[in-house]
Structure 1
Amino acid sequence: MLHPADLRAAVRSEGGVSRRLFLAAGAALAALPVVGARAVGRVIQRPGFAADPFSLGVASGDPAPTGVVLWTRLAPEPLAPAGGMRPENVVVRWELADDEAMKSVVASGDAVATPQLGHSVHVEVEGLRPDRWYFYRFRAGDATSPVGRTRTAPAPTASPERLRFAFASCQHFEQGLFTAYQHMAKDDLDLVVHLGDYIYEYPGAEKRVRKHVGPEKTKIVTLEDYRNRHAQYRGDEHLKEVHRRFPWVVTWDDHEFDNNYANDISEKNEKAETAVDPAAFLVQRAAAYQAYYENMPLRRTCVPRGPHLTLYRTVGFGRLAAFQVLDTRQYRTDQPNGDRAADLNDAALDPHGSLLGARQADWLKAALLRSDATWNVLAQQVMMGLVDLAAGADRKYSMDQWPGAAHERIGLMRWVADRRVPNPVVLTGDIHSNWVNDLRVDDRRPETPVVATEFVGTSISSGGNGVAEPKGVDVLLRENPFVKYHNRQRGYVRCAVTPKEWKADYQIVPEVLKPGGPVQTGASFAVEAGRPGAQRA
């Protein structure tokens, strides 16, 4: 086993698992399969099922002007090993139509659900018309899925009048009901953006609203563990309905694998006596990444290769908005200062510190330079605002968020300002609370110009009901004048975007511990195109 200090030294911002850790992993990594290959062997044309194989519902994602990804996963017994499926290749018929009754089918075909990918199906439909709603369904044997609803994006040269979408994150199954999704399903949306923590990896706990399946004493580790945890979350009726009604754009944070991990470093590696064997950690990461791909409407470009999955990408909506979807976990350096809140000291300002990794950072800058969108959106995980968490003269910042890579964070905002990137907006999840932040090159200098606006959304359920009026919020706002809003209840953020204005409605769900919780708009903020900074609407 490598010592924690050696691990920290081995992982830098080269954009992937280090050579040294590959050598440490040795045969264990060499034994990992390359998933996503075509089906080999007999294919079952007319399978029989003892129960509904579409128990996990349907979903769509990553809409493009002429196509979209359609998803389902065969699981007649979703919490049983392999979802109750035999290790056989199964033909799944898909259809896409202009109408919900599926009378006017415009595209159809057969896909093969393989046991290697958990009998998941990812269909990339092409040849569709831009900026249109469609309906779709799947068939396997005598079973038919629910009818899903999806849409294509406007043409790249089109100038849409409006984009309506919601973003969400952090849905701990045990800590609350997914009531926010019950309300989101009723909204008039073009898109849903999920910013991470789709599942949580912790063992089941007693005296919670609901209980995790899987190991009773330890976190989930194996591919079967991760598959079953996704299946349990996917079984929630409110979550299934939002997937069925709208296309999604997804990215992960840490809990899809392991809390506060950094690249190939476990949070346990701060102490030698608890350090995790790097080979085992990478094998576990491969299992987590594969299960994530299996359960998300992602394209072939995201098929995992062992412990790697390329998730960063651009999703456009005509010339109105371009979403640069980021991954701030897989390539990051270890959190400085022992991942404990600290001032922006030499460790936090280390030029080698990174959340993006060199390759992703270069990709992001190239994508922003190419963009001709009115609104340039960074859909990412952890708070970019340099929020001082200490009162008075002391300064403390979260090292798991962008302050832990403060040199990269300040440099990115300086680059955005120097290149005059039009209307940058940052979307963030992770911390189970709502924030609106005016971002500067360095937020510690309030006299300098605002560069971008950050909307941070609270959790769907993580943390229970939360607090409407958190203690010390007045001190927090006084210490951080760039923070325009802060709330610690549950919910999601609904956005309406036009060529002239971005409006964000903070949808609050005060009750998630029992069914029937209402929804209310806690606050609304607007950003005028060409004028960085949020104003209370």
Structure 2
Amino acid sequence: MPHLDRRSFLVTGLAAGAIATIPASAALADPDPAAETAQSLASRGLRSDPFTLGVASGDPDHSGFVLWTRLATQPLAEDGMGGMPARPFPVLWQVYSDERCRRVVRSGVAVAAPEWGHSVHVEVDALPSGREYWYRFRVGPYLSPVGRALTAPHLLSYGSPLSMAFVSCAQYEHGYFTSYRRLAEEHPDLILHLGDYQYEYTKNTYTIPGGNVRDHEGPETETLANYRQRHAQYKTDLDLQAAHAAAPWLVVFDDHEVDNNWADEVPEKPEVPQPNFLARREAAFRAYYENMPLRRTSVPRGIDMQLYRRVRWGRMATFHMLDTRQYRDDQGCGDGYRDCPAAVDPARSITGAAQERWLLDGFRHSRAQWDIIGQQVFFAQRDNNAGPAKVTSMDAWDGYVASRQRITQGWVDAKVRNPVVLTGDVHAHWASDLKLDYDDPTGPSVGSELVATSITTGGDGADSDPATHPYLAINPHLKFYNNQRGYVLTKIERDLMSADFKVVPHVQVAGDPAYTRATFVIEDQVPGVQQTYLRSLDTTLMRTRPMTVEDTVTWETERP
């Protein structure tokens, strides 16, 4: 790794948000004995590699991105400190313009402080737009893995087609993270994680038929030490590390990062006294920040954390990343499926008033080709009752009908060119048209929703025929369902957004290949999803192995 000269060796007094940016010419200077000495001092007390949790980048813009790592020589230590001495460590970082890490374009030193779990967040800027970069960290003789990052296109440019994937729901105990590995192999430009990055349960609490394939360490997460240990256990998974290193991530949490089905200051079971719930929420938020490639604008302050934000990918796409947990009203009539009067109460909100205003204002000012709403829970109506009563999930947008109506009407009134909602949470693949009036199936579609299945949650799952699913018969705007595990890989161009619903046959054993179970497209200024299908390839063959170049296929599009 090229050494830093005296001018470039800047150790700040800041904690995890520290940043130092220097000219490339300085970073490429001859080795400096002072830097060597500082590296030696930095590693004092470290007897093993501290980069056991990998590296990550995130929140890219047209001139930079966030770089992340967290030092831990014993990642599963019960005190949550990862085996690190209780003192700060200077961490050298470098950004390269080539994959072999020979041409340094930015470098500096950030401080990994014990107060922030020895995490490092570096906000790199002043880079050319629309480029690939590579990065790594160093503490003394220890060198981190190399990660890949990208800058977004210039704000006035569409750039090249965007390869974007999105995922959710990775219950460590329910399976192996094969889908993360397959996602890394897709070489996307951007990855969205839409919640349930880690689960709070102690082992043998949330089990699947046949038993879990591996166990959580430690008790149910309630303290900062618990959450730090749990995040570290997930981060030690090499498949997850590969996905983080492959591309920059945009992340938002859902419920399991804190407590199942929590809502604002209300825990899952409010009838059971939990006087420490707000302290638990504060600990969960702090650990989440420590373990994610987030900007300093998301540093938590007590029980509050600024997570909803906008990320622009040139003129091609604007990503509106939402927080549907921190500001919502408590679920009406309990958390499950109900025919509940509270669901239609116009005073109730899933986003809170301030976030709703922010989102609607973003629609009004957007000039993007695609406005993409990255969020956690099912957006379209999903009624499971064929009779006159509506029986829907109180934890999803169905439990906040007026909130959904205001936001949908907002993008219609703003004449948003192509509104697309991306969703996680429900452990199955779905695709649907979005309506202003779900009771009128003949009414116009005004948007599209794509839902990613889980990485592992629920175990293997099973392939299924969407035509036989009762929800699709009751809700004609729902167009696709599949109950296997995997991720969604999209390609976003000016005139078309395509979505491959990727699945792996098994997660209770490791290493399966991924294949495309279905592909949907959304055409520019044509709201709603359209399925492409294979006319000449046996669909039973598709379910047992990936397609190969030897398969003779003809692609067609099913029009509305």
Is residue 2:299 matched to residue 1:303?
Answer: yes
Is residue 2:373 matched to residue 1:374?
Answer: no
TM-score normalised to structure 1 length: 0.89
1:122-201 → structure 2 map (5 Å cutoff): 122-201=121-200
1:59-98 → structure 2 map (5 Å cutoff): 59-80=56-77, 81=79, 82-98=81-97
Q: CA deviation at 1:475?
A: 2.2
Counterpart of 1:427 (choices 422, 426, 429) is: 422
| Alpha-carbon contact 1:171-1:461 (below 8 Å) kept | yes
Counterpart of 2:323 (choices 327, 331, 344) is: 327
Q: CA deviation at 1:365?
A: 1.1
Compared with structure 1, are the counterparts of its residues 341 and 50 closer, same or farther at alpha carbon in structure 2 (3 Å cutoff)?
Answer: same
Is residue 2:60 matched to residue 1:56?
Answer: no
In structure 2, the residue corresponding to 1:339 is in which secondary structure?
Answer: coil
| Alpha-carbon contact 1:161-1:499 (below 8 Å) kept | no
Q: CA deviation at 1:412?
A: 1.2
Is residue 2:212 matched to residue 1:213?
Answer: no
Is residue 2:459 matched to residue 1:457?
Answer: no
| Alpha-carbon contact 2:383-2:391 (below 8 Å) kept | yes
Counterpart of 1:276 (choices 270, 274, 277) is: 274
Q: CA deviation at 1:471?
A: 9.7
- Tell which deviates more after alignment, 489-498 or 413-422: 413-422
Compared with structure 1, are the counterparts of its residues 248 and 222 closer, same or farther at alpha carbon in structure 2 (3 Å cutoff)?
Answer: same
| Alpha-carbon contact 1:35-1:305 (below 8 Å) kept | no
Compared with structure 1, are the counterparts of its residues 471 and 323 closer, same or farther at alpha carbon in structure 2 (3 Å cutoff)?
Answer: closer
| Alpha-carbon contact 1:431-1:458 (below 8 Å) kept | yes
Once the two structures are superposed, what CA deviation does each residue of 1:482-513 show, in whole Å capped at 9, x if it has no partner? 00101111000000010000100000111100
In structure 1, the residue corresponding to 2:121 is in which secondary structure?
Answer: strand
- Tell which deviates more after alignment, 333-342 or 314-323: 333-342
In structure 1, the residue corresponding to 2:48 is in which secondary structure?
Answer: coil
Q: CA deviation at 1:37?
A: 8.2
Q: CA deviation at 1:264?
A: 0.6
| Alpha-carbon contact 1:312-1:327 (below 8 Å) kept | yes
Distance 1:444 1:383 in 2: 17
- Larger RCO: 1 or 2 (CA < 8 Å, sep 6+): 1
- Aligned residues, how many? 493
Once the two structures are superposed, what CA deviation does each residue of 1:307-360 show, in whole Å capped at 9, x if it has no partner? 1110000111110011000000000000011223123x4311112211100111
2:440 aligned residue: 445
2:504 aligned residue: 509
- Tell which deviates more after alignment, 362-371 or 430-439: 362-371
Over the matched positions of the two proteins, sequence identity in percent amounts to 46
In structure 1, the residue corresponding to 2:227 is in which secondary structure?
Answer: helix
Distance 1:398 1:235 in 2: 34
| Alpha-carbon contact 1:322-1:375 (below 8 Å) kept | yes
Q: CA deviation at 1:133?
A: 0.4
| Alpha-carbon contact 2:16-2:118 (below 8 Å) kept | no
Distance 2:16 2:359 in 1: 26
In structure 1, the residue corresponding to 2:173 is in which secondary structure?
Answer: coil
Is residue 2:358 matched to residue 1:363?
Answer: yes
| Alpha-carbon contact 2:335-2:394 (below 8 Å) kept | yes
2:552 aligned residue: none
In structure 2, the residue corresponding to 1:414 is in which secondary structure?
Answer: helix
| Alpha-carbon contact 2:45-2:85 (below 8 Å) kept | no
1:409 aligned residue: 404
In structure 2, the residue corresponding to 1:338 is in which secondary structure?
Answer: coil
In structure 2, the residue corresponding to 1:185 is in which secondary structure?
Answer: helix
TM-score normalised to structure 2 length: 0.85
Counterpart of 1:350 (choices 333, 345, 349) is: 345
Distance 1:203 1:35 in 2: 31
Compared with structure 1, are the counterparts of its residues 371 and 275 closer, same or farther at alpha carbon in structure 2 (3 Å cutoff)?
Answer: same
Compared with structure 1, are the counterparts of its residues 138 and 471 closer, same or farther at alpha carbon in structure 2 (3 Å cutoff)?
Answer: closer
- Tell which deviates more after alignment, 512-521 or 281-290: 512-521
| Alpha-carbon contact 2:363-2:410 (below 8 Å) kept | no
1:105 aligned residue: 104
Distance 2:101 2:482 in 1: 43
Distance 1:45 1:471 in 2: 57
| Alpha-carbon contact 1:48-1:141 (below 8 Å) kept | no
- Tell which deviates more after alignment, 462-471 or 443-452: 462-471
- For structure 2, which runs of at least 5 residues remain unmatched after alignment? 1-13, 20-37, 533-560
Q: CA deviation at 1:35?
A: 8.6
Q: CA deviation at 1:38?
A: 7.5
2:225 aligned residue: 224
2:259 aligned residue: 258
Q: CA deviation at 1:473?
A: 4.0
Is residue 2:471 matched to residue 1:467?
Answer: no
Counterpart of 2:314 (choices 310, 313, 318) is: 318
- For structure 1, which runs of at least 5 residues remain unmatched after alignment? 1-33
| Alpha-carbon contact 2:435-2:447 (below 8 Å) kept | yes
Compared with structure 1, are the counterparts of its residues 38 and 126 closer, same or farther at alpha carbon in structure 2 (3 Å cutoff)?
Answer: closer
Distance 1:128 1:498 in 2: 24
Once the two structures are superposed, what CA deviation does each residue of 1:130-180 show, in whole Å capped at 9, x if it has no partner? 000011110111111011111100010012241001100000000011111
Distance 1:444 1:290 in 2: 43
Q: CA deviation at 1:251?
A: 0.5
Once the two structures are superposed, what CA deviation does each residue of 1:345-391 show, in whole Å capped at 9, x if it has no partner? 43111122111001111111112222111000000000001110123
Distance 2:474 2:99 in 1: 53
Distance 1:190 1:58 in 2: 16
2:394 aligned residue: 399
Compared with structure 1, are the counterparts of its residues 528 and 514 closer, same or farther at alpha carbon in structure 2 (3 Å cutoff)?
Answer: same
In structure 1, the residue corresponding to 2:327 is in which secondary structure?
Answer: coil
Q: CA deviation at 1:275?
A: 3.1
